[in-house]
Structures are given as structure tokens and as C-alpha cells.
């Protein structure tokens, strides 16, 4: 009799957990940084370090440089105005004294030299006044005058024009009479002619 051998064909359960995990892992791959979604700035191609280096910072430096230049110019202008103010006040005081002071014996020389401190129409009118009235009267009646300036103040000061308010005391002696004094104030306008300040207007106020 022949012996028949029967093989056991019952399926043996197998563990599929590892296989499933491997499949999941293989489908979920890490996205390289270069393939990550771009931001709006990156899409627009904005390179902020480059913008700062070549745009904002140079513009800021230019603005700061311009501001510094303006402040320097302004400071220089203020200092120049101060110089003009001081200079014009002193010249106005000295010129006023010379215009209003004279002696009978030297009246022509006194007032003639004062005329050199004037310019424009005022020079012409002053020349006519001293030649027609003051010089002849001083010689004839022995009139002398002494002027002083106790105070003066700058009204305005520009590079080529200045106005000064001058307070004047003048003492006049006629012959042997007692001296008489007068007090007045004059607005003196001066123009820069070349490198000199010359009086162009002399108006009582």
C-alpha cells in the first residue's frame, strides 16, 4: 500500500505593520529648503540687505549731509549778520558825530571830510547844505557845534545794507552866547560800497 503525505496548507498570519510604516515613510518625504513655498518678498525678488546697502543708507547719508551743510550755512549767516550789525552801529555812531560837529576856523575841513562818508543823493543834498548854509553861517557868526552819541541800536543788518537808530546830543555855541543843547534821534541807512559802509539816508525820527 502506498502512503500518502498531506501537507498543511493553512495560511500562517504575517506581521504587516512594518511594511505599512515603510510605505507611509516612503510617501512622506522631507521637502528641501529650496523647494519650500516662497514668501511675498522672495517672489517679488526683494533683496533687503541690498536695498539697505544701496538705497536707504546712501539716501539717509545724503539727507544728513545736506542737513549738516544747511546748519553750517545758517550758522555762518548768523555770524556774518552779527559782524555786520556790530560794524554798522559803530560806523553810524562815528559818522554822525563827524557830520554834526565843526568849529568856525576849521568848518570847511571838518564838514568836507565828513562828506566823504556819504553816498548817493544824500551826499549831494548834504554838500549843498553845508556849502550854502552851514559853512558861511559858522564863519560869519562864529558858530561851533559838538555832537555826541550816547546810544545806538541796529535796526536791520544785511550783507550790503544796514539801518541803525542813533541817539544824538548836540551842543551849539553862537559867538559868545551860552551853549544850547538839543537831543534828537536819527535813523541812519548805510550801503556797502566796495569795502566801505557809506551813509545813503539820514532821517530824523
pLDDT value of position 80:
77
Query: pTM here?
Result: 0.63
- Shortest CA distance to 83 belongs to which of 149, 154, 166, 152? 154
Quote the cell numbers at residue 69: 551743510
With both helix axes pointing from N to C terminus, report the angle between 107-115 and 120-129 in degrees, rounded to the nearest 10: 170
pLDDT value of position 81:
81
Quote the cell numbers at residue 158: 544785511
Collapse the DSSP code of 13 into the 3-class scheme (helix H, G, I; strand E, B; otherwise coil) and give the result.
coil
Give the chain's domains with CATH numbers. Answer: 88-204 (3.10.450.230)
171: exposed, middle or buried (Cβ count in 10 Å: 0-12, 13-18, 19+): middle
End-to-end Cα, the chain, rounded Å:
161
Q: Are 159 and 192 in contact (CB under 8 A)?
A: yes
| DSSP symbol at 54 | I
Q: What long-range pairs does 174-183 form, CB within 8 A, spacing at least 24?
A: 174/141, 174/142, 174/143, 175/141, 175/142, 175/143
pLDDT values of the chain reduced to their tens digit, one per residue, 205 residues: 444 444 444 444 455 445 445 544 444 455 455 555 555 545 555 555 655 555 655 666 666 666 666 555 555 555 678 889 999 999 999 999 999 999 999 999 999 999 999 999 999 999 999 999 999 999 999 999 999 999 999 999 998 999 999 999 999 999 999 999 999 999 999 999 999 999 999 999 9
pLDDT value of position 10:
46
Q: Are 67 and 177 in contact (CB under 8 A)?
A: no
Q: How far is CA 120 from CA 123, 181, 192, in A?
A: 6, 30, 12
Residue owning grid cell 559867538: 175
Amino acid at each position: 500500500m502506498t502512503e500518502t503525505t498531506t501537507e498543511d496548507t493553512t495560511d500562517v498570519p504575517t506581521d504587516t505593520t512594518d511594511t505599512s510604516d515603510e510605505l507611509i515613510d516612503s510617501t512622506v518625504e522631507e521637502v528641501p529648503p529650496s523647494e519650500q513655498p516662497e514668501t511675498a518678498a522672495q517672489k517679488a525678488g526683494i533683496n533687503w540687505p541690498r536695498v539697505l546697502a544701496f538705497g536707504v543708507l546712501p539716501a539717509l547719508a545724503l539727507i544728513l549731509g545736506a542737513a549738516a551743510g544747511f546748519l553750517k550755512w545758517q550758522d555762518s549767516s548768523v555770524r556774518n549778520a552779527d559782524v555786520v550789525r556790530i560794524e554798522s552801529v559803530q560806523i553810524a555812531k562815528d559818522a554822525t558825530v563827524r557830520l554834526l560837529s565843526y568849529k568856525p576856523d576849521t568848518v570847511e575841513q571838518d564838514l568836507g571830510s565828513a562828506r566823504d562818508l556819504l553816498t548817493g543823493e544824500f551826499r549831494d543834498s548834504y554838500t549843498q547844505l553845508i556849502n550854502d548854509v552851514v559853512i558861511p553861517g559858522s564863519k560869519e557868526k562864529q558858530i561851533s557845534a559838538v555832537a555826541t552819541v550816547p546810544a545806538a541800536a541796529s535796526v536791520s543788518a544785511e550783507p550790503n545794507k544796514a539801518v541803525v537808530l542813533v541817539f544824538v546830543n548836540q551842543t551849539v555855541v553862537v559867538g559868545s552866547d551860552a551853549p544850547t543843547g538839543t537831543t534828537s534821534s536819527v535813523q541812519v541807512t548805510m550801503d556797502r560800497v566796495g569795502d566801505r559802509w557809506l551813509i545813503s539816508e539820514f532821517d530824523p525820527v
